[in-house]
Chain A
């Protein structure tokens, strides 16, 4: 993070190039991203992303909190995909504890993370289209997103900062009527995707602004650590739900959408196709949702039932001890990677045997994907920058942590 931000245009001595400052307060940088762009006329010679404006020290804060308290911090990293963060974190801790949540918890996690993927892709599509001038798509996307947020609120009591997944299972039991509401949404949603596509896919302006723009080769993408839809848009079928399944993803049938063009339009097509696949997964999860417990039988780690606490002194003691002292996690390290809407999200947790993580590092997909941005925009026109930033779908909370 540079402290010299603020000058909008400066001249370089002995050169005809200009330096243009874009951000950190710019509507199309999707948060507080600052770009230092060196321009030759309208062409970008050199681009330098400058980040850190949203750094909140979450990794440091995590070291001072009990394992169960860190869950609430993870929501705030990638705030458009809070449940994905929750899932990645609890899977990493469960790995250290060698704790397996019951089937119903695993399936609920799949169901809700796929809804999160829809939520995140809807915000991406809406804002990306808005940046390029298609206002209507934004309003349509937020209309459907609102229903997803209502579903999250129904499950967890919160629209965005859900903290619904806990070590060993779920926070409260899923409420009655939740699955019916999700099913109604899943039945309605595919026709809405058709609606978005009817506004964009064959729209001459949209295609003109996105096709052939922001190209990245497969070699470059791998070298720069790009993952997620951006990598699948260059033809590499890497999806951790398939290649390193977690939380019972291997029991679901779905395809991994691929394109080979590697441009902004290809990324758009991959994400839209992914939304359709997510609906498929949601349907399967609803149809096959197992009955039974929604958290592991692990006294001392998962909070006891409210009813139990009124009659059983042991439950009351466990509740008191978890809340006041946390639970110890065996010394060791674990790296858990999952497929977030933006790419590979990884949590690296080191435990020293105590109730607080010794080190909790988040490998955020936005951070790695943003690093590849100069590769995509150098040599292109200034007007394309906005389209390209939208296409890599970064969340600055995820970049800066």
Chain B
């Protein structure tokens, strides 16, 4: 498997580019996750892996955002983005704009903090 080409866009163009990619035939959203580049200002890098069931092509799709200005949800284009974004919210604290059900998923509802952030200690807060 070859590495897919990567497309990086600003959060403002996130939804428009995603719509275009979907129209280009990338109908399967395989994965959506986040990388925390703390302490850079735009610390969260949202990474999507797209796949086309027709051409069998891969595409990686990225944006960088801060905690205050998260990108809009992709769950209106690919329903499967729903849980992936919920997981990113739970573990990184990125609040995707317009997400239908942004609640805790892996951690208990009353958990404080987002464990996959780089400023969250591996042993947890004691």
Contacts and interface: CB of A to CB of B under 8 A. Distances in A.
Main secondary structure of the interface of A (DSSP, over half): mixed
B42 interface: no
Interface string A24-65: 000000000000000000000000000110010101110110
B80 interface: yes
Interface string A323-340: 000000000011111000
Given A1-B105, A335-B31, A371 B82 contact: yes
Interface of B: 1, 3-4, 27-31, 33, 35-36, 47, 49, 53, 56, 58, 60, 78-80, 82-83, 87, 91, 104-110, 115-116, 120, 122
Contacts of A4: 109
Main secondary structure of the interface of B (DSSP, over half): loop
A335 B122 contact: no
A105 B83 CA distance: 36
B53 A236 contact: yes
A224 B80 contact: yes
B77 to A, nearest CB: 9
Interface of A: 1-4, 51-52, 55, 57, 59-61, 63-64, 95, 222-225, 227, 236, 238, 240, 243-246, 333-337, 344, 346, 348, 350, 358-359, 361, 363, 367-368, 371-372, 400-401
Contacts of B120: 60
**Which among B106, B108, B109 has the greatest number of chain A C-beta atoms within 10 A?**
B106
14 contacts: A1-B108, A3-B108, A222-B28, A223-B78, A225-B29, A244-B1, A337-B1, A337-B30, A348-B31, A348-B33, A348-B47, A367-B83, A368-B83, A371-B82
B29 A95 contact: no
Shortest 6 CB-CB distances between A and B: which pairs? Answer: A225-B80, A363-B31, A55-B106, A244-B1, A52-B106, A361-B33
Contacts of A361: 31, 33
